[in-house]
Amino acid sequence: MDSIEFGAKYNKYLNEIKSVIRPELFSVIDDLKSKDPQDFITRDTLFQNENDARGFVWAMFVDGVNKYSFQTITIDIEDIETLDDIEMFFILLEKEHISYSPESSFLDITNTDLDGNSTVQTFTLEEGERLDMLMGKCRDLVDELDVNIFEICKRANRIVRGKNAWNQSPPEQ
């Protein structure tokens, strides 16, 4: 397989990978899709067969996961003052594929490698404490307004993942 054929099949290989991985790793695929496959190889690159080309793309995916699994994340929201702020906060968490609960600490969330082993904390100590403080404001506001925080979580999940996401009822408070 030459470089031109590889370039033509590159997105097909990425879609094959995406069909068998956990959703929290989709951002690695999206990052690879945003790059030109010709940046990874030269005109003279030859793969012995299609499996070698697939293996090359899988290796790039594994490298991307390893890089991703050792990164910390920052959630870009400054304060919580309204129900809309709470919803935006939860949407930003969903977009980062963060599995969160309004009742737990962000300091307990860790990234994982391909085998599911913890690698690093998802948030730095400072960011985790800031997010815990914001979640506290969320809980205070929903208590004050007598709103179910899990309904807001559910709505944010559906906004990001689609209307069929989170079909089960939210946990009882």
SS3 annotation, the chain: CEHHHHHHHHHHHHHHHHCCCCHHHHHHHHHHHCCCHHHCCCCCCECCCHHHHHHHHHHHHHHHHHHHHCCCCCCCCCCCCCHHHHHHHHHHHHHCCCCCCCCCCHHHCEEECCCCCEEEECCCHHHHHHHHHHHHHHHHHHHHHCCCHHHHHHHHHHHHHCCCCCCCCCCCC
Question: Nearest 5°: CA angle at 69, between 66 and 72?
Answer: 135
One-letter amino acid at 57 equals V
Cβ atoms < 10 Å from Cβ of 81: 10
The pLDDT of residue 40 is 84
The residue ranges of every structural domain in the chain are: 3-69, 83-161
- pLDDT tens, the chain, 173 aa long: 888 888 899 999 999 999 998 887 888 899 899 998 888 888 888 888 999 999 999 999 988 887 777 778 788 899 999 999 999 999 999 888 887 888 889 998 887 777 777 777 888 899 999 999 999 999 999 999 999 999 999 999 899 887 655 454 444 44
The pLDDT of residue 163 is 66
Contact 14, 57 (CB under 8 A): yes
The pLDDT of residue 23 is 81
The pLDDT of residue 16 is 94
CA–CA separation, 160 and 162 (whole Å): 6
CA–CA separation, 152 and 59 (whole Å): 39
Place of tokens 């069929």: 164
Phi and psi of 141, rounded to 5°? -65, -45
**pTM greater than 0.95:** no
